[in-house]
C-alpha cells in the first residue's frame, strides 16, 4: 500500500431463503408499511444478494454464524430503507465448503436466481474454486475470507475482499509480539490447504524479519480427526508453538495437544480459528490458561467496549461472552463473522455511490468500491476503523492479541492498522472486466 492515511479510530433450510420473506411479512415488523418505504425507488424489485454459505462440510460452524450475521445486517439495512430505496433479499445456497460446488453456486446466483452480487465465501480453497467462475459471469463477488488470494493478484477484477483483513496482514501484525514476548524458535501447526499455506509462508517471513525462526512446520489434513501422531514431531528446542486449525475436530486437536505436553509446555500462540465456536470452559482446555490468541474481533466484551460493539451484539443476539443470548453454550465465530456485516455495508455504500439500478451497473459497482479509501469505526464497521486499497481489492484494519485468563480472553494488545501493511502485488484497476 503506497500512500495511507490513518483515520481516527475512533439454515434451517439453506437452499433458498430471503431476508424479506414477503413484502407483507416484512411490513409487520415496522411501523411504516413496507410498500411506502420503497415507493421513491425506480423499482420496488429487491436487490438480490447471493449468499454462498458453508452450511455443510468443514466450514459449517462458520456458515451458521455467517448466516446469522448476514440476516441481522440485512434486516437493519431494510429497516433503514434498503439500498437505493429497494429492499435487500438474501438468496442462500449451500456450497458444502467444497470448491467445485462453490463454482456451481456462483453460477446459480448469476443464471437462475438473477442475483446482483455474490457474497460471503470464507474458506480459501472454495474462494479459489469459485472466483474464476464469478469473473467469467461478470458477477461482483464479495468474499469474506482471510486468504491472500485476492491481494496476491491471483483472482480477477470482479472479486473483492473489503470487510476482513487477510492472513498476510494479520501475521505481519502478530509476529513482533511473538518474537519479543514469547520466543524466537517457533513450530507451526496448520491445515494443509491454501489458508494454512498462507500462514506457513507469511508467518515464516514475518518471524525472520523480527529476528525469529520457524524451525518446524507441521501441515495437517483439514479432515484429520486425531492429532497425537503429529506432536512427537515438534523439536525439543521449540520455544513457541503456533497453531491455527479449522474444522469440526478443533476441540480434539487442542485437547490432545494438552494431553501430550502436560504442565511442561512451550509458550503457545494460537489463532482463534483453532477454538472458534468452542466454549473455552470445555473440559480439557485448562492447559491453555495463560496462552495467547489472535482475534479478528474480541469474543468477550472488553472493559472499553464501544457502543458499536454493543449495537452489533444486540442485533445478532450475542451476549458479553460471545455466545448466543438464547443458549450460552452456542458460541459464535466472533473473530470472523463481523466481515459479513461490514461487507454488506460496503456493498450498500458501493451501490449507492454507483447509483446501482440493476445488473447493467455491475461494473460501476466495482469501480465505486475501488474508489473507496477508508471507513471509520461505526455501527457499520464495529470491528474497527478500516483502510481500503482499491488497487489490490483488500481491506486493512486493527488486529487483537488476547490472553486466556480465568477462562476468558482479555485483549492485551491492539495493533495499529499500518502494522499489517505490505507492498502492493497487483493493480486490479488496470485489468479489464
Contact 334, 318 (CB under 8 A): yes
Residue 301 lies in a domain: no
pLDDT the model gives residue 284: 84
When mean pLDDT is compared across 63-72, 145-154, 272-281, 396-405, the lowest value belongs to 272-281
Instruction: Band the pLDDT of 243: cuts 50, 70, 90.
Output: very high
In this predicted structure, the answer to whether residue 26 has a pLDDT above a threshold of 70 is no
Q: Which contiguous run of DSSP H or E holds residue 349? A: helix 334-354
Is the distance from CB of 423 to CB of 172 less than 8 angstroms?
no
Q: 201 with 157, same domain?
A: no
Confidence class for position 56, pLDDT limits 50, 70, 90 = very high
Instruction: Give residue 27's pLDDT.
Output: 37
pLDDT per residue over 257-267, tens digit each? 999 998 889 99
For 372-416, give the DSSP string.
Answer: --EE-SSSSSTT--EEEETTTTEEE--EEEEEEETTEEEEEEEE-
What average pLDDT does the structure give for the chain?
91
Per-residue pLDDT tens over the stretch 361-410: 999 999 999 999 999 999 999 999 999 999 999 999 999 999 999 999 99
Q: State the burial class of residue 376 (Cβ atoms within 10 Å of its Cβ: 0-12, 13-18, 19+).
A: middle
- C-alpha 306/C-alpha 75 separation (Å) is 22
- Using alpha carbons only, give the angle 47, 53, 56 rounded to the nearest 5 degrees: 155
Domain ends where: 269, 295, 321? 295
Residue 326, C-alpha cell as written in the block: 438464547
Backbone angles phi, psi at 226, to 5 degrees: -140, 140
- What is the pTM for the complete model shown? 0.89
User: For residue 52, which of 146, 121, 127, 134 has the smallest C-alpha distance?
Assistant: 121
Percentage above 70 pLDDT, the chain = 90
Give the distance, in angstroms, between the CA of residue 127 and the centroid of all CA atoms in the same chain. 12
Residue 336 above 50 pLDDT?
A: yes
Separation of alpha carbons 133 and 137, rounded Å = 6
327 lies in a domain? no
pLDDT of residue 40: 53
In whole angstroms, what is the distance from residue 45 CA to residue 110 CA?
A: 16
Residue of 379, 316, 392 lying closest to 162 (CA atoms): 392
- pLDDT attached to residue 21: 34
Q: Are residues 44 and 156 in the same domain?
A: yes
Integer-rounded Cα radius of gyration of the chain: 21
Strands of the sheet containing 394-396, edge to edge, are 374-375, 386-389, 394-396
Beta strands in 24-84 (DSSP E): 47-53
The pLDDT, as a whole number, for residue 33 is 47
Long-range contacts of 148-154 (CB under 8 A, 24+ apart): 148/198, 148/202, 149/124, 149/194, 150/392, 150/393, 150/394, 151/389, 151/392, 151/393, 151/394, 151/425, 151/426, 152/425, 152/426, 153/392, 153/425, 153/426, 153/428, 154/128
Burial level of 278, CB count in 10 A (0-12/13-18/19+)? middle
Where is 317: in which H helix or E strand?
A: none
In a domain, 411, yes or no: no
Instruction: Decide if pLDDT at 37 tops 70.
Output: no
The count of domains in the chain is 2
The whole-number pLDDT of residue 296 equals 98
Q: 266 and 245, same structural domain?
A: yes
Spatial distance between the Cα atoms of 362 and 372, rounded to a whole number of angstroms: 16
Q: For residues 256 and 173, state if they share a domain.
A: yes
Same domain, 38 and 110: yes
Per-residue pLDDT, 246: 82
Checking if the pLDDT of 146 tops 50, the result is: yes
The runs of H, that is alpha helices, within 124-212 are 124-137, 167-177, 194-209
Say whether pLDDT at 115 is over 50.
yes
Residue 95 shares a structural domain with residue 140: yes
Pair 156, 184 in one domain: no
pLDDT at position 77 over 90: yes
Residue 11 in this model has a pLDDT that exceeds 50: no
- CA 383 to CA 342: how far, in whole Å? 8
Residue 391's pLDDT is: 98
> End-to-end alpha-carbon separation of the chain, Å?
23
The CATH code of the domain that includes 263 is 3.40.50.2300
Residue 41 has a pLDDT of 56
Is the confidence at residue 1, as pLDDT, over 70? no
Alpha helices in 93-123 (DSSP H): 99-111
Task: Report the C-alpha gap between 267 and 247 in whole angstroms.
Answer: 24
Q: pLDDT value at position 15?
A: 42
247 and 277 assigned to the same domain? yes
User: CA of 191: how far to CAs of 12, 75, 150, 174, 198, in Å?
Assistant: 29, 35, 20, 19, 10
For 286-293, what is the mean pLDDT?
Answer: 93
Confidence at residue 174, expressed as pLDDT on a 0 to 100 scale? 96
Looking at residue 42, its pLDDT comes to: 66
| Domain enclosing residue 196, as ranges | 167-295
What tens digit of pLDDT does each residue of 201-217 get? 999 999 999 999 999 99
Burial 344-369 (b: 16+ CB within 10 A, else e): bbbbbbbbeebebbebebbebbbbbb
Q: Both 52 and 85 in a single domain? A: yes
Question: Please, are residues 332 and 299 in contact by the beta-carbon 8 Å criterion?
Answer: yes
Same domain, 156 and 183: no
- Position 315 in a domain: no
Same domain for 195 and 229? yes
Amino acid at each position: 500500500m503506497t500512500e495511507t492515511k490513518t483515520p481516527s479510530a475512533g439454515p434451517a433450510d439453506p437452499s433458498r431463503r430471503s431476508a424479506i420473506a414477503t413484502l407483507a411479512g416484512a411490513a409487520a415488523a415496522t411501523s411504516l408499511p413496507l410498500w411506502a418505504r420503497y415507493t421513491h425507488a425506480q423499482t420496488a424489485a429487491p436487490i438480490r444478494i447471493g449468499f454462498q454459505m458453508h452450511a455443510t462440510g468443514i466450514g459449517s460452524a462458520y456458515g451458521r454464524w455467517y448466516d446469522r450475521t448476514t440476516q441481522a445486517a440485512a434486516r437493519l439495512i431494510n429497516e433503514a430503507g434498503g439500498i437505493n430505496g429497494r429492499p435487500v433479499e438474501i438468496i442462500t445456497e449451500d456450497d458444502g465448503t467444497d470448491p467445485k460446488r462453490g463454482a456451481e453456486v456462483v453460477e446459480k446466483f448469476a443464471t437462475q436466481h438473477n442475483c446482483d452480487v455474490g457474497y460471503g465465501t470464507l474458506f480459501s480453497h472454495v474462494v479459489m474454486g469459485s472466483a474464476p467462475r464469478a469473473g467469467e459471469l461478470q458477477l461482483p463477488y464479495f468474499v469474506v475470507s482471510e486468504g491472500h488470494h485476492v491481494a496476491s493478484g491471483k483472482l480477477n477484477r470482479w472479486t473483492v475482499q473489503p470487510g476482513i483483513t487477510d492472513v498476510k496482514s494479520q501475521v505481519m501484525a502478530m509476529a513482533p509480539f511473538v518474537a519479543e514476548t514469547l520466543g524466537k524458535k517457533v513450530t507451526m501447526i496448520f491445515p494443509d490447504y491454501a489458508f494454512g499455506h498462507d500462514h506457513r509462508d507469511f508467518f515464516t517471513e514475518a518471524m525472520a524479519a523480527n529476528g525469529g525462526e520457524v524451525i518446524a512446520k507441521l501441515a495437517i489434513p483439514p479432515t484429520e480427526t486425531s492429532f497425537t501422531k503429529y506432536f512427537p514431531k515438534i523439536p525439543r528446542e521449540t520455544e513457541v508453538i503456533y497453531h491455527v486449525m479449522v474444522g469440526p475436530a478443533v476441540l480434539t486437536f487442542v485437547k490432545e495437544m494438552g494431553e501430550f505436553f502436560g504442565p511442561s509446555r512451550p509458550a503457545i500462540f494460537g489463532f482463534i480459528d483453532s477454538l472458534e465456536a468452542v466454549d473455552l470452559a470445555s473440559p480439557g482446555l485448562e492447559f491453555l490458561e495463560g496462552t495467547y490468541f489472535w482475534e479478528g474481533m474480541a469474543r468477550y466484551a472488553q472493559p472499553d467496549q464501544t457502543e458499536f460493539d454493543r449495537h452489533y451484539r444486540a442485533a445478532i443476539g450475542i451476549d458479553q461472552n460471545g455466545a448466543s443470548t438464547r443458549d450460552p453454550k452456542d458460541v459464535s465465530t466472533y473473530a470472523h463473522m463481523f466481515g459479513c456485516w461490514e461487507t454488506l455495508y460496503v456493498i450498500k455504500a458501493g451501490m449507492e455511490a454507483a447509483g446501482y439500478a440493476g445488473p447493467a451497473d455491475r461494473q460501476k459497482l466495482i469501480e465505486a468500491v475501488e474508489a473507496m479509501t477508508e471507513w471509520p469505526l461505526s455501527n457499520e464497521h464495529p470491528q474497527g476503523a478500516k483502510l481500503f486499497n482499491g488497487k489490490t481489492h483488500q481491506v486493512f484494519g486493527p488486529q487483537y492479541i488476547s490472553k486466556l485468563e480465568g477462562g476468558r480472553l482479555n485483549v492485551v494488545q491492539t495493533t495499529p492498522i499500518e502494522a499489517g501493511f505490505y507492498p502492493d502485488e497487483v493493480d486490479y484497476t488496470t485489468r479489464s472486466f
